[in-house]
A and B are shown apart, each in its own frame.
Chain A
């Protein structure tokens, strides 16, 4: 194993951890806000996949990563609109619609991909890196921590902003009220459905952005079904984080490290089948759920549609 611990190996491990962590971080942050306000957004997997597809499509057509990210956000939001209309406005079952939406997006993106890209499998050029003098030149951590795409730092900024929002602002309180006691919020003059529509769209935007990052920076291309459960992992992170954005960040970094380690092991030439290696991140999540699952706190009215005057 001594040969593994080279500078290049450690650097790529750290880089891989960050690249893998960002999509689930963004999805987890979105889902966290959604759960706070009482919407269990199972459709997040579909929103992420739509974000990945639209993100790649736009980036490929315009040759601009930033336009691609905008496209990803748009894709996620468009998918979320369906969810918001059916589950929040019409009060249909959040879980079934979420699953249905995910399946629909899987089918739709696979279909579109088949007719657009399946013959050529075009790739995007490698993303431009942020280059900070001094810091980027540090050994091992330099290129992996400080040479990432701008979006990575924006995602970290989002953690801070959201933490402030939940703790310090009125909006944060309103969100929590919508999840814990929607009737009370309604009586106090708050707009429960409006808040919930907003959080579903926000989740769509975040998940879509995460998907676009996954496709444009993580992979450089779009592959059908490429999210492979990353959105669902985001749900777990949000559940375990008990409403704190910082914990979503920690969770996503651990997840990213696990994923990166598995890729690194493959590259290092171990003979284990890829299936076993791919199991590791899910097994890690399951282990955490077994150990800490009961401490996960979910809002009282999570998953229940709100209808004024209902029993």
Chain B
């Protein structure tokens, strides 16, 4: 896990990686490394979170046990966990592109919600007009386009005026979340209900379920999206260009690449996937958007993608566990009355502990040499 790099998220430290292969690693020290870099920090994070739970008067063993039982050891829970992975995976795809290309797209929440709202507003109207697959296709394409459109201002500012995208995407995210909520209440409101929400896509017209389970097939699309993005960034010429821009924009310019255009492309792709993420949640699971609905997955996924070192497969594994955590804690919020916000605490503890673990590991290896 290489958490140590400069402000460019894509600029992975080549020198650091090469040290991984330096020297002969004996079996014992390899075991110790795994202990300090992954297992140890994960245990530490759970212990730290357990202490916080105890402080507020909740038995951590009961809580953790309940989460595991609800999310992984029951059939329904496992299916819910798998279904929940879909939007998170699309967000991973979005962030992998952006981070590998050196762009901090912190505005995925806004892009996600606007994509969701537009998909929810159009898809129900098209039922009966278009065949089922076309309804879904239109919903997804529209969500991707809307997401991408919402990133145009930060993209232009970054590409042509060098304005730091961190603040512009964050501001657009706040705006997007509020705009989405406004649209649900005014323009896209379902006239037949008293609660402000969009029209509902009938269950039969949503994304098909997998086999005999309740798992939405959005999961498959999400997996495809992450793997495709991973291959694109690591195995294609286009991906290499994007990574070059991320690693060193000046060098990329000298190599004859159009840095502004590639920056625009990165934003469009990244925000497009964020829009798709919103659409999978709506067209696959929820069917409509209620006013003020904002799961705020966007920022949450950032630590996961980062801990996976922008790696597709690593992200999928982490998303699986995070998804289980979400499902379990939602259930725990109802039954044990521990607010779901606890998942945020746990992820922050993980991030801190894994960071410390990596640091300790580096220190040890420096000493050994």
Contacts and interface: CB of A to CB of B under 8 A. Distances in A.
B355 A90 contact: yes
Interface string A50-81: 00000000000000000000000000000000
B34 interface: no
B349 interface: yes
B9 interface: yes
Contacts of A42: 166
Contacts of B346: 107
A93 B178 contact: no
Contacts of B25: none
A94 interface: yes
Contacts of A161: none
A40 B345 contact: no
B167 A110 contact: no
Contacts of B345: 104, 107-108, 111
Contacts, number: 160
Nearest to A107: B344
Nearest to A229: B174
A150 interface: no
A213 B167 CA distance: 24
Contacts of B172: 286
A305 interface: yes
A75 B171 CA distance: 25
Interface stretch (B249-257, B282-290, B299-307, B313-321): B299-307
Interface string B116-141: 00000000000000000000000000
A290 B157 contact: yes
A146 interface: no
B56 interface: yes
B59 to A, nearest CB: 14
A115 B343 CA distance: 16
B56 A93 contact: no
A311 B6 CA distance: 12
Nearest to A102: B299
A115 B53 CA distance: 11
Contacts of A302: 7
B179 interface: yes
A92 B344 contact: no
A238 to B, nearest CB: 10
Contacts of A165: none
A197 to B, nearest CB: 16
B210 interface: no
Interface stretch (B83-91, B180-188, B225-233): B180-188
Contacts of A102: 299
Interface string A7-46: 0000000000000000000000000000000001010000
B3 interface: yes
Interface residues of A, number: 53
Given A239-B164, A286-B172, A100 B303 contact: yes
A303 B167 CA distance: 14
B191 interface: no
Given A92-B3, A289-B157, A289-B167, A103 B300 contact: yes
Contacts of A293: 157, 161, 163, 168
Interface string A291-304: 00110101000111
Interface string B179-216: 10110011000000000000000000000000000000
B170 interface: yes
A202 interface: no
Interface string A78-103: 00001000100011111111011111
B6 A304 contact: yes
Contact of B182 (A112, A276, A282, A285): A276
A266 interface: no
Contacts of A290: 153, 157
B52 interface: yes
A43 B253 CA distance: 33
B57 interface: yes
A279 interface: yes
B29 to A, nearest CB: 22
A240 to B, nearest CB: 9
Contact of B161 (A97, A235, A294): A294
29 contacts: A82-B352, A92-B359, A93-B4, A93-B9, A94-B7, A97-B352, A99-B299, A100-B303, A100-B352, A102-B299, A103-B300, A103-B344, A104-B348, A104-B351, A107-B341, A107-B342, A107-B347, A108-B345, A111-B56, A111-B338, A114-B56, A232-B174, A239-B164, A273-B185, A275-B179, A285-B171, A286-B168, A286-B172, A294-B157
Given A100-B347, A103-B348, A275-B182, 5 more contacts: A97-B351, A283-B175, A285-B171, A290-B153, A303-B6
Interface of B: 3-7, 9, 15, 52, 56-57, 104, 106, 153, 157, 161-164, 166-168, 170-172, 174-175, 178-179, 181-182, 185-186, 299-300, 302-303, 306, 338-339, 341-349, 351-352, 355-356, 359
